[in-house]
Structure 1
């Protein structure tokens, strides 16, 4: 049984848990970068329908989206070193954090590949064909035509993927990584105030998620800053037009 609930422990545990925040953020940052690279490499064969690579990419996405992240952590940490032994590669002394980042990065790459593919397909194909028709190269067409329109579509999906990855890092403690959740487990065992520990942990995750959400929202507004917004006087002009149509035609007016 745990100790009696004491709200003071909730605020006392927050600075203790924050000492391991850098580990969680390193996992998220490293996995996000790896996920973007993997997602792009996986999305390209499916976008351009490369015969063999397209099937491999589909299998990759199906595996990482169809199996739990916890099972993937165990497979990479315990199974990958055994497989690499056949190639005479010893990774048993590699830091566990590398296995965690690799697992989360490859898992995130499966979702980000779908994000990239859907964002690119959302851009009108005719615009790319018109760019090719006037002599633009494939690289310039992608960077000048496709990418500026695909980014606003992909950014909300990317934000969801990053925030979901942040919350999924709570499973890294199962491999002995002392991140936020691992630290909370230790504090709970030492003090027996489990409820207060988890409330502190939930508060930290919530604040980080809200900060990321605000950051991505600002980035999305910046990407859409050139979009034309409806004029504020449109309703006023509409009412004026209705009044003009209702008014009897007078001298100099054109009756409709």
Structure 2
């Protein structure tokens, strides 16, 4: 049993794995930020239904929603340098983290675009009309009335996407990125012991998931409070 699992090895490997936590968190932060920006743009295009852009956006969303993220990662990692080479750009020495962030941002944007689009569409049109009736402009009506409600509607689905993104960061090791899971594999190759490292990584992922859920829960409560105050003030 001692050879299979050792608390001493777990205590020794945990700090080494935590050293790579910033890599995992940077992927989550960049992909979420990029996904929100690109997803919002895609949602606006789909809501506006501009003919050419609508088809291009829909095709991209279908690809990233319909294929495994590991396939997308390989397509970006091996395909982007070939594409950029046509324009005289050598991307062969670019950090692996860059390709991971690009892939996860595009993947996140595909899912968030649908979440954002459906959330905005779900807000009752009467809410906007009521805002106009009390003298708000179109932009004021959107940001003060529609947007807070849309965000509140989107939060549960956004939480699911965020936690899925956190878990999917573990695939970065497939192209040689040394994140937490990559560090576990490096330790396993060196020590020939794998159980302790994966237990430590699993515990970190669970704690991160709990933390993200807690923060999103606070955001949801704050939004509900803001919407309630706006309603009490008559917008």
Q: What is the correspondence of 1:221-240 to structure 2 with a 5 Å cutoff?
A: 221-226=221-226
User: Which deviates further from its counterpart, 61-70 or 7-16?
Assistant: 7-16
Task: Pick the structure with more helix per residue.
Answer: 2
Which residue does 1:46 correspond to in 2?
Answer: 46
Q: 2:151 matched to 1:151?
A: yes
Write the distance in 2 (CA, Å) between the matches of 1:112 and 1:7: 41
Contact 1:81 1:90 survives alignment (8 Å): yes
Write the distance in 2 (CA, Å) between the matches of 1:24 and 1:30: 10
Return the offset for 1:27. 0.9
**With structure 1 as the length reference, what TM-score do the two structures score?**
0.83
Instruction: Structure 1: state its 5+ residue gaps.
Output: 229-256
1:119-175 deviations in Å (ceiling 9; x for gaps): 101100122244456664332221122112111111222222111111100000111
Write the distance in 2 (CA, Å) between the matches of 1:9 and 1:51: 59
1:47-92 deviations in Å (ceiling 9; x for gaps): 1222221111111110001111111111111111112222223222
Write the distance in 1 (CA, Å) between the matches of 2:85 and 2:135: 51
Which residue does 2:118 correspond to in 1?
Answer: 118
Q: 2:163 matched to 1:163?
A: yes
Write the distance in 1 (CA, Å) between the matches of 2:206 and 2:200: 10
Which residue does 2:86 correspond to in 1?
Answer: 86
Identify if the C-alpha distance between structure 1 residues 133 and 154 changes in structure 2 by more than 3 Å, giving closer, same or farther: same
Write the distance in 2 (CA, Å) between the matches of 1:46 and 1:227: 26
Q: What is the correspondence of 1:49-60 to structure 2 with a 5 Å cutoff?
A: 49-60=49-60
Write the distance in 1 (CA, Å) between the matches of 2:11 and 2:17: 10
Aligned length: 227
Identify if the C-alpha distance between structure 1 residues 135 and 222 changes in structure 2 by more than 3 Å, giving closer, same or farther: closer
Which residue does 2:24 correspond to in 1?
Answer: 24
Write the distance in 2 (CA, Å) between the matches of 1:154 and 1:114: 10
Runs of 4+ in 1 over 6 A off after TM superposition: none
**With structure 2 as the length reference, what TM-score do the two structures score?**
0.90
Identify if the C-alpha distance between structure 1 residues 224 and 132 changes in structure 2 by more than 3 Å, giving closer, same or farther: closer
Which residue does 1:235 correspond to in 2?
Answer: none
Contact 1:14 1:204 survives alignment (8 Å): no
Instruction: Structure 2: state its 5+ residue gaps.
Output: 229-235
Return the offset for 1:212. 0.8
Return the offset for 1:227. 6.4
Q: What is the correspondence of 1:190-205 to structure 2 with a 5 Å cutoff?
A: 190-205=190-205
SS state at 1:120 partner: helix
